Structures are given as structure tokens and as C-alpha cells.
Amino acid sequence: MYLESSIVDGVRELRASGRWRAAAAPALARAVAGAELGGARVALDLGALEALDLTGAYFLHQLELRLEAAGIVPEWRGPRPETLAFAGTLVAAGSPPAPAVPAAAPPRPAAEPLGALGRWTVRRGGSLASALEFLGRVYYVMGGALLRPRRFRAQSVVRHVYETGIQAIPIVALIAFLISIIVAYIGAQELRQFGGEVYVVDLVTLSVLRELGVLLTAIIVAGRSGSAFAAEIGAMRLNEEVDALRAIGLNVVEVLVLPRVLALVIALPLLTVIADAMGLAGGAVLSWLVLHIPFTRFMVRMQEAIAPTTFWAGLLKAPVFGFVIALIGTFRGIQVRESSRELGRLTTVAVVESIFMVLFVDAVFAVVYWELDF
């Protein structure tokens, strides 16, 4: 859980993760004592470390001493923590910051797969707990802002609506237009075999209004704005700007998270409407050029194909998608710690998780709509 050993390009990497604090001293002692050190070169990676106090630094220093005793000079992936040097000074002075804890024997190889599964489960459980805690803080701040509307920071919300919504119109409109042309072209090829070219209008209208418009928009926004949120807040973490906000008494969630969440909840439905319009326009152009269906006939057939709920079935998903994308982007940005490498990794994670959750939520909507006959 706390120290994983692997070999990458001939170098044994020891990757520290979790919270290296005094409360976990027995487990840290066992992890350091049981670490595999075989190899001519050993690298220490603290990129996944969530917290490090003086006790944790003491055990890292003990790991360095084990490596030195084996004649190995450790290579650091990133800067060596200053706390580690202080712990070494204390140990040299005869005042170790943590009590000696007897180390248990390393786990038997037969139990290693089960141990790896347990460590993975504990890590994922910790990540889920952190995500739920972050979600609770967002809801708490949002509830307080409803009682005091000034806390919504209208200027910041407007700026983010402009950056995530207005500036995204060209790429959203272009992709929606092209995708609808592709859908209409493929549908025309298949339906032409049965003499049903006119049903291309139904295909384009229903697919764009119910699914493609909002789904494509959400995926584009996840890659564009979700990554931007994670990178912006992550850079602020590295520059200690987030700590400065806390030091002057500001609520980080209120200042950095809430405006972005509200902006995306507002911007995504507006972008969805534009994507729907451009998608229908692309289908109309393809129908006119390939199937020789006039625009007037396309409009009449489109009105016959849609139900009163068709447009709303897609639009109702947009605020939920925006909320999910903004939450994941800001959450991963706040998780960045002490490394530009970690900034890049968590930005990538934010995009991947946002797209996955958009697809998952869309599947949930599909089941709900099916049950409600919506």
C-alpha cells in the first residue's frame, strides 16, 4: 500500500504512495523493511505521495540508509523533500522522530497477488472517500451561496462561461456539422437499398437531438475545459497560490471550484443547442446534395419525425454532464502535489474520467428514458 517495487527499463523503481504520517508508523516500518532492493540502480518516486510528515520522512531516511548499506546510491524522480534532510539531521543527532517499530517478515510470494489486490482496493477506497468528501464540500458551499448570492462570484462565473462556452462555439459547431453529415451519408447508403431515402431525415433528426448533439458537445468540453480546469488549479497548487488563498481566509471551493461548476452547467446546454442546430443543418445539406431532398421538405419531414420530448430528452442531459465534467476537472486539479509530472498525469486522468463518466451518465439516462417512455 505504501511502497511498491517494480522494474522499469532495467531500473528498480520504489514508488511511495498514500499518507506517510505518524498514524501509519507500524505499516510504514513494515513497508520499508520489506522493500525489494535488488538491482544495480534504484529510483525513488514520491509522485503519488498524498501526505508526508516528519515520521514519514524518518522512514524514507531509513530506506535511504538501507540502500546505502547495500552500496546503492538512490536516484530521485523529482526533488528530494526538504523534510527528509531534516529527519536525517535529527537521526544523526540521536533524536529519531519516530519510535522503532519491529518490522514484520515480508509477505510470502504465494500471497503477493492477493496483497496487490488488497492494496489496489485500499487505494481505490481512499480515492472514493476523497471524491465523496470533495462533493460534500461543493454541496455545502453551494447551499451557503444560495443563502448569500454574492458568494456565487458572478464576475468569475461570467468569465468562465465565456472561456468554456463562447470560445468553444466554433469547434463544437464544426464537429456537430461534420458528424451529422457522416451519419446522414451512411444512413443514405443503407436506406437507398430499400427505397427509404426520406427516412434519412428521421435518422439525423432523432440521433442529433436525442444523443449526438449533447454527447459530442460534452466530450469536446471534457477534453477542452475539463483538462483546462485541472491544469489551472494544479498549476496554482504547484505555485502555492491555493495555500495563499487559504492563508488569507478564503474558501478554496468557493473561489476556484464553484464558479467553474456553475459556468459549465450554464455553458453546456447553450453549446448543445448550437450543436443540435448545426447537426440538423449538416443533415439537411447532405440530404440536398446526395438525396436531392429540398430544405423545405426536410423541415416538414423533421417536424413529423420528432415528438414533443425529443429536443428536451437531449437538452436535459447537458447540465448534468457539465456538472460532472467540472467536478472531476477541479477535483483532480486540487489533488496535484509537488511535481509537474503529477500535474500532467492528473490532467490526463481528469479528461479520461470525465469522458468515461459522461458515457456512464448517458447510459443511465438511456435506461431512465426507456423506463419512463420519454
For the chain, what percent of residues have pLDDT higher than 90? 44
Alpha helices, DSSP H, located in the chain:
25-33, 54-69, 82-92, 112-147, 154-164, 169-191, 199-207, 213-221, 227-238, 241-247, 252, 258-290, 295-305, 310-315, 317-334, 340-372
Question: Cα separation of 198 and 184, whole Å?
Answer: 11
Provide the pairing of β-strand 11-20 with 75-77.
Answer: unpaired
Q: Which of 30-34, 66-70, 93-97, 127-131 has the highest mean pLDDT?
A: 127-131
* Each residue's pLDDT tens digit, 259-290: 999 999 999 999 999 999 999 999 999 999 88
* Each residue's pLDDT tens digit, 285-342: 999 988 888 999 999 999 988 888 899 999 999 999 999 999 999 999 998 887 788 8
Phi, psi of 47 (to 5 degrees): -65, -30
pLDDT at residue 111, rounded to an integer? 54
Instruction: Note if the pTM is more than 0.75.
Output: no
pLDDT at residue 105, rounded to an integer? 47
pLDDT at 6 over 80: no
Pick 24 or 220 by higher pLDDT. 220
pLDDT at 146 over 50: yes
Q: Which of 114-118, 139-143, 351-355 has the highest mean pLDDT?
A: 351-355
**CB 312, CB 213: distance < 8 Å:** no
Q: What is the mean pLDDT of residues 23-32?
A: 78
pLDDT at 370 over 50: yes
* Each residue's pLDDT tens digit, 38-60: 666 777 777 777 777 778 778 87
pLDDT at residue 107, rounded to an integer? 52
* Each residue's pLDDT tens digit, 195-254: 888 889 999 999 999 999 999 999 999 999 999 999 999 999 998 898 898 889 889 999
Pick 79 or 195 by higher pLDDT. 195
pLDDT at 343 over 80: yes
* Each residue's pLDDT tens digit, 94-135: 544 444 444 444 555 545 777 788 877 887 787 788 888 988
The 3-8 sheet, strands edge to edge: 3-8, 11-20, 42-52, 75-77
